[in-house]
Amino acid sequence: MALGIESTAHTFGVGIVNGRGEILANELESFKSRSGGMRPHELAEHHLNVASKVISRALTSSGLSLKDISLIGYSRGPGIGQALLIGAFISRTLSLELNRPLVGVNHPMAHVEIGRKVTGSRDPVVLYVSGGNTQVIIHNGRRYVVLGETLDIGLGNAQDKLGREIGLPFPAGPILDSMEGKWIELPYTVKGMDLSFSGLLTEALKKIKSGERVEDVVWSFMEVAFSMTIEVAERALALTGKEELLLVGGVAASPRLKEKASVMCEERGARLKVPPNDIVRDNGAMIAWTAILSYKVNGPDDIACSYMKPQWRIDEIPWPLLDV
Ligand code: ATP
Ligand code: FE2
């Protein structure tokens, strides 16, 4: 029985998952702001303020008490240092206090592993689209490797920055996603398997300043950004011959992205797998489940070495392709 704590960015999440991967609780509180983005010290303060409430809620909804927990997992990186620190601090404390093993989890890997588990996808091409990350990932038999990724900002961050400039609250993604408009030409940048969103963002902002309708710019921005990511995912399917596409990360909640992915997969005869919205976004259950897998593969962490890894990449970690 693992309790997992997520705190890489906007969300403080606590999940409780058993050894069969059944999710017994998945509670969270997310930092939101009326204007502006995420200021690191505000995130840390938010996470500290909600931590004990979210842990209690998770225990209550699972019907368990802390002594029933046999493993503590936490998101070790990548992420925003101040936010990571809160999760690391609380999980170390729980581990020491309860005398239970501690396992630090790679956040992108947790998105992938919970996605595979929940959808039953064994060996997919993964399109991981979130605030900080945009990556196309496969397993090569020894580890997860990144076939293509953003060369600058993540798709979600590009959306949220555009939203901030037009006065929307954070996160802006869901609002932008539902806006309708007409097509305006914007730069489409795919470089081999890699992507770039900063030129698209700059040009979109320029178009708004020069008087184009906001709705048209936003609609076209989303059209270009989503088409770019689906193009790279399609190329990865063609290159590897894999038959499933798994969408994970907060942006995978977008109906428009899912529709594009579904059309592409249908044309190629590939299967599309998308977990529900509470699983694609940042959450604690993904950390708890991946902590269980990591414990099986590598055993517990040495608590003295359980420092955070704000730049940790999924492809640094030797990792078997586990059955789902
Ligand atoms: P990571 O550390 O993995 O990069 P993250 O901190 O960005 O994760 P997630 O919860 O995975 O967190 O993703 C959040 C992003 O998802 C935000 O940028 C938000 O705008 C975007 N998002 C959420 N819902 C939608 C939606 N319906 N359409 C488009 N974007 C969405
Ligand atoms: Fe995430």
Q: Is residue 9 in contact with ligand 1, taking CB distance under 6 Å?
A: yes
User: What mean pLDDT comes out for the span 50-73?
Assistant: 98
Which domains, ranges and CATH numbers included, belong to the chain? 2-110+279-316 (3.30.420.40), 123-275 (3.30.420.40)
* Conformational region of residue 122, where left means phi above 0, alpha means psi within -120 to 50, and beta covers everything else: alpha
- Measured by CA distance, the residue closest to atom 24 of ligand 1 is 174
Instruction: Determine the angle formed by the axes of helices 255-268 and 214-240, rounding to 10 degrees.
Output: 30
Q: Which atom of ligand 1 has the smallest separation from the CA of 108?
A: 3
- C-alpha 42 to ligand 1 mean position (Å): 18
Contact 71, 295 (CB under 8 A): yes
The predicted-structure confidence for 254-267, as pLDDT tens digits, reads as follows: 999 999 999 999 99
Q: Is residue 76 in contact with ligand 1, taking CB distance under 6 Å?
A: no
Q: In whole angstroms, how far apart are CA 322 and each of 54, 148, 236?
A: 30, 23, 21
Q: How far apart are CA 282 and CA 112, in angstroms?
A: 11
**Number of the ligand closest to the Cα of 154:** 1
% helix, strand, coil for the chain, step of 5: 50, 20, 30
**Number of the ligand closest to the Cα of 179:** 1
Task: Using CB atoms within 10 Å of the CB of residue 314, give its burial: 0 to 12 exposed, 13 to 18 middle, 19+ buried.
Answer: buried
Q: Is residue 154 in contact with ligand 1, taking CB distance under 6 Å?
A: yes
The predicted-structure confidence for 192-247, as pLDDT tens digits, reads as follows: 999 999 999 999 999 999 999 999 999 999 999 999 999 999 999 999 999 999 99
**Number of the ligand closest to the Cα of 218:** 1
- Split at pLDDT 50, 70, 90, the class of 33 is confident
Q: Is residue 160 in contact with ligand 1, taking CB distance under 6 Å?
A: yes
- Split at pLDDT 50, 70, 90, the class of 36 is low
Q: Is residue 163 in contact with ligand 1, taking CB distance under 6 Å?
A: no
**Number of the ligand closest to the Cα of 176:** 1
pTM over cut 0.85: yes
Checking if the pLDDT of 87 tops 80, the result is: yes
- Measured by CA distance, the residue closest to atom 14 of ligand 1 is 250
- Measured by CA distance, the residue closest to atom 5 of ligand 1 is 131
Q: Which atom of ligand 1 has the smallest separation from the CA of 155?
A: 18
- C-alpha 249 to ligand 2 mean position (Å): 5
